[in-house]
C-alpha cells in the first residue's frame, strides 16, 4: 500500500516538530515591572545571586561581559553618600551580601578598565570592583550557573544600579596569569540553553501607552515590538567598541525645524550609560533647538518645570538617520519624542531632584555614544556568530502579543544561512537530507504501527466470532428447574435409583432444559411396540387427591392447574382422548419406545383398549383421522421402567423437543 500525501505531510510535520523540539529555543526575560534609578526612570531586570539566592534588580549593559551588583557593607554607607538617601537599598535595586552566600569565591579587587581599555574607558569611567566567582541566575526563575564572574560595587557613580553584561567577550584578569571567565551569554550556549550567541534588547518607555517595560531575548527577537527594515550593520573589529553605527544626520522638528548634525559620525551603542554623547557643534544645535542650558555644578542640562511643560506641549522630536556606511546605502530612521529625553536626576547627581536632558559633550570621537535613552525608541538585535546587528524603530501597540522569532547558529547544519529569513517563516528550516531521512523513518514507523493495529484487530475479531457462534452448553430454564416435575418426589426417587445403579449421568441435563425454550409441540402418550403419536398426557381422574381440586400433575403430585385447562393455564377448546388409568399414577410423554423388556410388553394390550376418545382435557389423538408422524418429543420413562412405579431416568419438560443438535449457523 502506498502512503497517501496526507500521511506523508503529517509525518513530515511530526518529524520536523520533533527535531525542533529537541533543540533549545529563544529565552525571553521580561522586565521586573519596576522603573527606577537616580538618572531615569529605567525598566530594570531581575537576577539571582549566591546561595541561598539573593534577588537584585539591574540594568542590561550591551558593553559589559560581566555582572556588577551593589555591595551590602558600603553601597549605602556614609563613605558612598554624604547623606544616605531614604530607602537606599531598595532604590539601588537591593544589595548583595557575599558573607551570606556559601558559593562565593573571592578573586580580588580590580578596576573595570585598564589603560583606556575596558568597560566605560572611553567615557572616563573609573571605579574599583571586588570580583569573585558566584552562582548567577537570570530572571525570577530562569537558568542559573555556577562560577560566573560577579563584581561588587559601592560607589553610586557611575553605576547607581547594578548591571548585567550582555557582551560575549570573556572577562580577563591580567594579574592572575591572564586567566579568563566566560560571559553569561557564552555559558548559556555552551550549556545548550540557547541555540546561538545572540540577543535582542529594548529599554522600555514609561511615557508610552500605560508604561511599556523593557524586554530582553536571548537567541531571538520579538517582531511585535518593532517596525522591520532591510538595514544590517556589521560589528566593528574593536571588541570593546563593536556596536558601531554611522549617524548620517540628526534633525529636529517642533515649533520649527533644524538640522542638529551636518556631518556623518560613527557612534557606539552602549546601554550602560544613559546619555547621548555628541560633538560640541551638535550639542550647541541641541541647546538652541530646545532652549537648554548646561548646569556648571552638576554638568547636566537641567530643565525647570515651566520650560519642561512647554517642551512637552510642543510635540518636539529628534530623528536619527542611521546606516552602515557614511553616505548612501540603506538607512533606518529612529525618532525620539521629547518625552524620551525627559529624565529625572537624583542624589548624588544633584543636590535636589530635577529634570534633565541626557546630552553630553564628547571630548573626542571615541566618546560618541548612543546611550540607554536612545534604546527607549530603538530595538537592538545582535548576532555575534554572524558578526552583524540590527536596529529598528519601536512600535507601540497596546495589548500586542509577543511574537518571538529564533536566531539560530550558523554552525547548525539545519539552520538557515540567512537569519533574516526567520522574520517571515518564524522558525528555522531543516536541511533537505535531514527532512528526507526523518520522513522515511516516520512513514515506516507509521506503517508498522498501522500493521500491528490491524493484526490485533483481526485476532480479536476471530476470537469474538469463535466465542459467539461456538457450541455452548445451554443454560437451564429456571422455570423448569423450579417446576413441579423437577422437584417431585418421583423425580427425586428416580435420581436416587440412578445413583445406586452406578450411573454418573446427570438426571436432568442442561440440554434437556434448554430444549424447553423451543417452539411448543403437541404432546401425547406413546404405545409400546409402535411409533410415537401426538397427544396430550393428562393427570389421573378427578377422584385423585391434589392441591388443586384433585387434579394430579405428571409426577403424581397435586397441581396448581385447574381442571380442563392446558399446562399454560388456558382452557381446552376440544375434548381429548381418555388415558388409561391402569396402572394408576403411571404416565408417559410421547416419544420413542418406553422400553423393550417384558414389563413394557405387558402394557400394550391395556394401552390399546384405551384408544377411545376421552372427554378429559387433551389434544386429539392420531386415531381421529390424522396421519402418524414421528413425535418430536421423548419419553419420560426410561428403559428400566416397571409397572407399578414411576421410573424417570431422563426426565424432561413436557414441551422438550427431540434431543437432536440444531444446525450451526455456518
- Structure confidence by residue, pLDDT tens digits, 230-284: 999 999 999 989 999 999 999 999 989 999 999 999 999 999 999 999 999 999 9
Which carries the bigger pLDDT value, residue 22 or residue 470? 22
Does some domain include residue 13? yes
With residues binned 3-state (H G I as helix, E B as strand, rest as coil), the percentages for the chain, rounded to 5, are: 25, 25, 50
- Cβ-count burial 158-169 (b if 16+ within 10 Å, e if not): bbbbbbbbbbbb
Does some domain include residue 350? yes
Does some domain include residue 207? no
Q: ∠ at Cα 60 (54, 61), nearest 5°?
A: 120
Reply yes or no on whether the pLDDT at 94 is more than 70.
yes
Predicted pLDDT at 625: 43
Q: Which residues pair with 361 in a beta bridge?
A: 278
- Which residues, in sequence order, are CB contacts of 476 under 8 Å at separation 6+? 510, 513, 514
Whether a cis peptide bond, with omega within 30° of 0, leads into 158 is: yes
Please report which confidence band the pLDDT of residue 174 belongs to, taking 50, 70 and 90 as the band edges. Answer: low
pLDDT tens digit string along 57-81?
999 999 999 899 999 989 999 999 9
274 and 167 co-located in one domain: no
Q: Where are the alpha helices (DSSP H) in 426-558?
A: 432-469, 478-481, 489-500, 510-515
131 and 276 co-located in one domain: no
Q: Which residue has the cell 409400546?
A: 528
Q: Which three three-digit cell numbers place residue 462?
A: 476471530
196 burial (CB, 10 Å; 0-12 / 13-18 / 19+) is buried
* Maximum separation of any 2 CA atoms in the chain, in Å: 153
5 and 134 co-located in one domain: no
Predicted pLDDT at 197: 97
333 and 346 co-located in one domain: yes
377 and 464 co-located in one domain: no
Does some domain include residue 117? yes
- Mean pLDDT throughout 23-27? 94
Q: Which three three-digit cell numbers place residue 424?
A: 517571515
Q: Which of 199, 231, 258 is the last residue of a domain?
A: 199
Q: Where are the alpha helices (DSSP H) in 240-370?
A: 280-290, 305-313, 338-341
388-394 and 226-227 strand pairing:
antiparallel
Backbone angles phi, psi at 200, to 5 degrees: -135, 145
- Which residues, in sequence order, are CB contacts of 343 under 8 Å at separation 6+? 39, 40, 41, 274, 355, 356, 357, 358, 373
Reply yes or no on whether the pLDDT at 406 is more than 60.
yes
Least Cα distance to 320 among 394, 242, 214 occurs for: 394
596 and 520 co-located in one domain: yes
Q: Rounded to whole angstroms, how far apart are CA atoms 249 and 277? A: 14
What is the number of structural domains in the chain?
Answer: 4
Which carries the bigger pLDDT value, residue 608 or residue 450? 450
Please report which confidence band the pLDDT of residue 115 belongs to, taking 50, 70 and 90 as the band edges. Answer: confident
Specify the range with the lowest mean pLDDT, choosing from 154-163, 363-372, 379-388, 618-627.
618-627
Q: How many CB atoms lie within 10 A of CB 329?
A: 11
Please report which confidence band the pLDDT of residue 117 belongs to, taking 50, 70 and 90 as the band edges. Answer: confident
- Cβ-count burial 113-144 (b if 16+ within 10 Å, e if not): beeeebbbbbbebebebbbbbbbbbbbeebbb
Does some domain include residue 178? yes
262 and 399 co-located in one domain: yes
Please report which confidence band the pLDDT of residue 543 belongs to, taking 50, 70 and 90 as the band edges. Answer: very low
Q: Rounded to whole angstroms, how far apart are CA atoms 274 and 271? A: 7
Q: What is the DSSP letter of 315?
A: T
Reply yes or no on whether the pLDDT at 6 is more than 50.
no
114 and 127 co-located in one domain: yes
385 burial (CB, 10 Å; 0-12 / 13-18 / 19+) is middle
420 and 325 co-located in one domain: yes
Q: Which of 167, 199, 231 is the last residue of a domain?
A: 199
Q: Which residue has the cell 500521511?
A: 7
| Percent above pLDDT 90 for the chain | 52
Q: Rounded to whole angstroms, how far apart are CA atoms 359 and 367? A: 12
Q: ∠ at Cα 58 (179, 228), nearest 5°?
A: 95
Least Cα distance to 553 among 648, 475, 411, 639 occurs for: 648
- Cβ-count burial 636-664 (b if 16+ within 10 Å, e if not): bbbeebbeeebbbbbbbbbbbbeeeeeee
Q: Which residues pair with 406 in a beta bridge?
A: 220
Which structural domain range is residue 484 located in? 478-666
Which carries the bigger pLDDT value, residue 156 or residue 451? 156
Q: Which of 396, 425, 454 is the last residue of a domain?
A: 425
128-138 and 144-153 strand pairing:
antiparallel
Reply yes or no on whether the pLDDT at 553 is more than 80.
no
Least Cα distance to 75 among 21, 135, 4, 153 occurs for: 153
Specify the range with the lowest mean pLDDT, choosing from 208-217, 436-445, 499-508, 529-538.
529-538
522 and 459 co-located in one domain: no
36 and 11 co-located in one domain: no
Does some domain include residue 209? no
419 and 436 co-located in one domain: no
Q: Rounded to whole angstroms, how far apart are CA atoms 498 and 72? A: 106
Tell me if 24 sits within 8 A of 220, measured CB to CB: no
Q: Which residues pair with 319 in a beta bridge?
A: 251, 335
- Mean pLDDT throughout 317-345? 97
Reply yes or no on whether the pLDDT at 36 is more than 60.
yes
Q: How far is CA 531 from the centre of its chain?
A: 79
Backbone angles phi, psi at 224, to 5 degrees: -80, -5
Does some domain include residue 444? yes
Reply yes or no on whether the pLDDT at 416 is more than 60.
no
pLDDT tens digit string along 269-311?
999 999 999 999 999 999 999 999 999 999 999 999 999 999 9
Does some domain include residue 122? yes
332: domain CATH number is 2.40.70.10
Predicted pLDDT at 234: 98
Q: What is the mean pLDDT of the chain?
A: 75
Specify the range with the lowest mean pLDDT, choosing from 220-224, 324-328, 505-509, 566-570.
505-509
Q: Where are the alpha helices (DSSP H) in 209-326?
A: 280-290, 305-313
Amino acid at each position: 500500500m502506498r502512503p497517501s500525501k496526507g500521511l506523508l505531510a503529517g509525518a513530515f510535520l511530526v518529524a520536523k516538530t520533533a527535531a525542533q523540539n529537541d533543540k533549545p529555543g529563544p529565552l525571553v526575560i521580561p522586565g521586573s515591572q519596576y522603573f527606577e534609578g537616580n538618572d531615569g526612570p529605567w525598566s530594570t531586570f531581575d537576577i539571582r545571586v549566591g546561595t541561598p539566592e539573593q534577588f537584585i534588580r539591574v540594568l542590561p549593559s550591551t558593553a559589559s561581559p560581566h555582572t556588577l551588583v551593589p555591595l551590602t557593607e558600603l553601597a549605602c554607607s556614609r563613605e558612598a553618600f554624604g547623606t544616605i538617601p531614604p530607602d537606599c537599598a531598595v532604590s539601588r535595586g537591593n544589595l548583595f551580601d557575599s558573607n551570606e552566600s556559601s558559593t562565593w569565591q573571592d578573586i580580588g579587587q580590580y578596576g573595570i578598565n585598564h589603560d583606556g581599555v575596558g568597560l566605560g574607558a572611553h567615557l572616563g569611567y573609573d571605579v574599583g570592583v571586588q570580583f569573585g566567582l558566584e552562582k548567577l541566575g537570570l530572571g525570577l526563575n530562569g537558568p542559573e550557573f555556577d562560577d560566573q564572574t560577579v563584581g561588587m560595587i559601592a560607589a553610586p557613580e557611575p553605576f547607581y544600579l547594578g548591571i548585567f553584561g550582555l557582551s560575549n567577550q570573556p572577562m580577563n584578569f591580567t594579574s592572575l596569569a591572564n586567566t579568563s571567565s566566560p560571559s553569561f551569554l557564552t555559558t548559556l550556549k555552551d550549556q545548550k540553553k540557547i541555540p546561538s550567541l545572540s540577543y535582542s534588547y529594548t529599554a522600555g518607555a514609561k511615557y508610552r501607552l500605560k508604561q511599556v517595560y523593557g524586554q530582553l531575548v536571548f537567541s531571538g527577537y520579538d517582531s511585535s515590538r518593532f517596525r522591520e527594515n532591510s538595514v544590517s550593520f556589521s560589528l566593528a573589529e574593536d571588541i570593546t567598541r563593536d556596536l558601531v553605527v554611522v549617524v548620517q544626520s540628526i534633525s529636529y522638528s517642533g515649533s520649527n525645524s533644524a538640522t542638529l548634525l551636518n556631518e556623518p559620525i560613527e557612534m557606539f551603542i552602549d546601554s550602560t550609560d544613559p546619555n547621548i554623547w555628541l560633538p560640541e557643534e551638535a550639542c550647541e544645535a541641541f541647546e538652541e533647538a530646545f532652549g537648554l542650558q548646561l548646569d556648571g555644578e552638576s554638568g547636566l542640562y537641567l530643565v525647570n518645570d515651566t520650560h519642561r511643560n512647554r517642551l512637552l506641549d510642543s510635540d518636539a522630536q529628534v530623528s536619527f538617520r542611521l546606516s552602515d556606511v557614511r553616505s548612501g546605502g540603506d538607512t533606518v530612521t529612529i525618532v525620539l519624542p521629547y518625552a524620551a529625553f525627559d529624565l529625572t536626576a537624583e542624589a548624588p547627581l544633584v543636590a535636589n531632584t530635577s529634570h534633565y536632558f541626557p546630552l553630553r559633550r564628547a571630548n573626542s570621537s571615541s566618546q560618541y555614544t548612543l546611550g540607554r535613552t536612545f534604546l527607549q525608541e530603538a530595538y537592538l538585535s545582535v548576532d555575534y556568530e554572524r558578526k552583524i546587528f540590527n536596529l529598528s524603530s519601536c512600535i507601540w501597540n497596546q495589548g500586542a502579543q509577543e511574537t518571538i522569532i529564533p536566531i539560530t547558529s550558523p554552525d547548525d547544519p539545519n539552520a538557515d544561512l540567512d537569519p533574516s529569513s526567520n522574520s517571515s517563516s518564524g522558525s528555522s528550516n531543516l536541511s533537505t537530507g535531514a527532512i528526507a531521512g526523518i520522513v522515511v523513518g516516520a512513514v515506516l514507523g507509521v506503517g508498522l504501527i498501522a500493521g500491528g493495529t490491524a493484526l490485533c484487530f483481526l485476532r480479536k475479531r476471530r476470537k469474538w466470532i469463535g466465542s459467539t457462534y461456538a457450541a455452548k452448553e445451554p443454560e437451564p430454564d429456571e422455570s423448569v428447574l423450579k417446576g413441579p416435575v423437577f422437584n417431585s418426589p418421583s423425580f427425586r426417587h428416580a435420581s436416587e435409583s440412578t445413583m445406586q445403579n452406578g450411573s454418573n449421568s446427570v438426571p436432568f441435563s442442561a440440554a434437556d432444559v434448554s430444549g424447553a425454550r423451543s417452539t411448543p409441540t403437541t404432546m401425547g402418550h406413546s404405545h409400546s411396540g409402535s411409533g410415537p403419536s401426538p397427544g396430550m398426557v393428562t393427570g389421573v381422574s378427578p377422584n385423585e387427591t391434589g392441591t388443586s381440586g384433585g387434579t394430579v400433575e405428571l409426577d403424581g403430585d397435586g397441581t396448581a392447574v385447574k381442571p380442563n385447562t392446558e399446562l399454560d393455564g388456558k382452557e381446552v377448546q376440544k375434548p381429548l382422548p381418555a388415558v388409561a388409568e391402569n396402572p394408576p399414577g403411571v404416565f408417559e410423554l410421547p416419544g420413542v419406545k418406553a422400553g423393550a423388556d417384558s414389563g413394557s410388553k405387558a402394557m400394550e394390550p391395556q394401552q390399546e383398549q384405551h384408544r377411545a376418545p376421552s372427554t378429559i382435557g387433551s389434544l386429539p389423538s392420531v386415531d381421529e383421522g390424522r396421519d402418524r408422524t414421528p413425535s418430536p418429543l421423548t419419553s419420560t420413562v426410561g428403559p428400566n421402567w416397571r409397572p407399578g412405579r414411576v421410573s424417570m431416568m431422563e426426565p424432561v419438560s413436557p414441551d422438550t423437543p427431540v434431543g437432536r443438535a440444531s444446525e450451526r449457523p455456518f
